[in-house]
Amino acid sequence: MPERIVLVTDHPWSSIDAEVETLAGVGARLVLAQTGEQAELVELARDADAILTCFARTSEAVVAAAERLQVIGRYGIGVDNIAVDMASARGVLVTNVPSYCEHEVAEHALALMLALARRIPIYDRGVREGDWSLQRGAPIHRIHGGTLGIIGFGHIGRVLAAKASALGLTVIAHHPRSPDAIAAAGYEPVELRELAAQADFISLHVPLTDETTNLIDEEFLRAMKPTAVLVNTARGLVVDQEALVEALRSGWIAGAAADVFTPERLDPGDPLLAVPNLIATPHVAYYSEESLVDLGRLAAENVAAVLAGRMPAAIVNREVLDLERWQHLARA
């Protein structure tokens, strides 16, 4: 079996043992990028049969340079860092791991909602400053009996709905492409502006697309209850950050929490970080020790399957399967 090369553009965790073991089974050797910079990735991609990527930009230039490329495997769910159209034009499969970190992200979103609702950061800062007063975080409203609006009812949205229901929250959801899935799960499908007006808590779980860029804009934020909070564990560009800063400063909404931003690493002086009713975390909602093991194995299994001539578990650009080069996968 000829040796295959799998380029790993980046991996923000210490061990890739699962990937090494999985891909060795199909005669593949991993090559790790050192910087993840475009020039380096273009050069390393020239000999790559496959690419595994997490956050690094797998650009059109990278895809074009990889003449032997068969598959790009995403460590995760969203593929906005991958030139998917270019890959499709070249007949390259793009895979992801849609079932990964469902519980982690849902739990993180729920933790942020509860921290906002119970004013945990505000009281924590107060105690450290010697202020033990109830008034510092008032008013607080009961979580039980409130309404959670979920925007995006995929794997994570459904897990969050179940967890929130167990806390006594009424769940409504918006998913324009499959409202029937919401009703089938036992929840109420609603239009976007209706969700903004009704929900006490709003949690975002949509991929980044042209349709979802700045989905949460000034109009949406003004339509929210002044007592409501917004949680974003999806992608930074789903929210208009300038509008969010104004919403928090002006009291259009009570608070917000975000695990994702635009850009991904905000300058410490960014106006959003100066707003006291914001909780910020550094894109860690996906993280648990268990989820990282799962992620490495499942992403590598997708790539290994393609290299071995088998159908991977998840394909983003399924239209590529119609090409002659992939007919053997359809029959496998």
Confirm if 204 and 216 have CB atoms less than 8 A apart. yes
Q: What is the mean pLDDT of residues 92-98?
A: 96
Report the sign of the C-alpha dihedral through residues 74, 83, 210, 216, in that order.
positive
| Catalytic one of 90, 103, 136, 283 | 283
Asked whether residue 331 carries a pLDDT value surpassing 80, the answer given is no
CATH of domain 4-100+289-331: 3.40.50.720
Q: What is the pLDDT of residue 205?
A: 97
**Superfamily holding 102-280:** NAD(P)-binding Rossmann-like Domain (3.40.50.720)
**pLDDT mean across residues, the chain:** 95
Q: What is the mean pLDDT of residues 293-316?
A: 95
Domain boundaries, the chain: 4-100+289-331, 102-280
Q: What is the mean pLDDT of residues 111-138?
A: 96
Which band of pLDDT confidence, cut at 50, 70 and 90, is reported for residue 332?
Answer: low
User: Which percentage of the chain shows pLDDT scores above 90?
Assistant: 89
Please, is 156 exposed, middle or buried when counting C-beta atoms within 10 Å of its C-beta (0-12, 13-18, 19+)?
A: buried
235 counts as catalytic: yes
Q: What is the pLDDT of residue 99?
A: 83
Residue-wise pLDDT for 200-212, tens only, equals 999 999 999 999 9
Q: Which residues are bridge partners to 5 per DSSP?
A: 29
319 counts as catalytic: no
Neighbour-count burial for 79-110, b at 16+ CB within 10 Å, e otherwise: bebbbbebbbeeebbbbbbbebbbebbbbbbb
| Catalytic one of 4, 158, 235, 301 | 235
264 counts as catalytic: yes
Q: What is the pLDDT of residue 68?
A: 96
Q: Where does the chain have alpha helices with state H?
A: 17-24, 38-45, 60-65, 84-89, 102-117, 120-128, 155-166, 179-184, 192-198, 218-223, 241-250, 289-307, 327-331
Report the sign of the C-alpha dihedral through residues 252, 123, 114, 284, in that order.
positive
Q: Which stretch of 14-23, 151-160, 198-207 has the lowest confidence by average pLDDT?
A: 14-23
Q: What is the pLDDT of residue 330?
A: 67
| Catalytic one of 264, 318, 325, 328 | 264
Please state the pTM of the whole predicted model.
Answer: 0.86
User: Which percentage of the chain shows pLDDT scores above 70?
Assistant: 98
Residue-wise pLDDT for 32-78, tens only, equals 999 999 999 999 999 999 999 999 999 999 999 999 999 999 998 88
Same fold: 4-100+289-331 with 102-280: yes
Asked whether residue 2 carries a pLDDT value surpassing 90, the answer given is no
Q: What is the mean pLDDT of residues 149-171?
A: 97
Report the sign of the C-alpha dihedral through residues 108, 113, 115, 116, in that order.
positive
Which band of pLDDT confidence, cut at 50, 70 and 90, is reported for residue 242?
Answer: very high
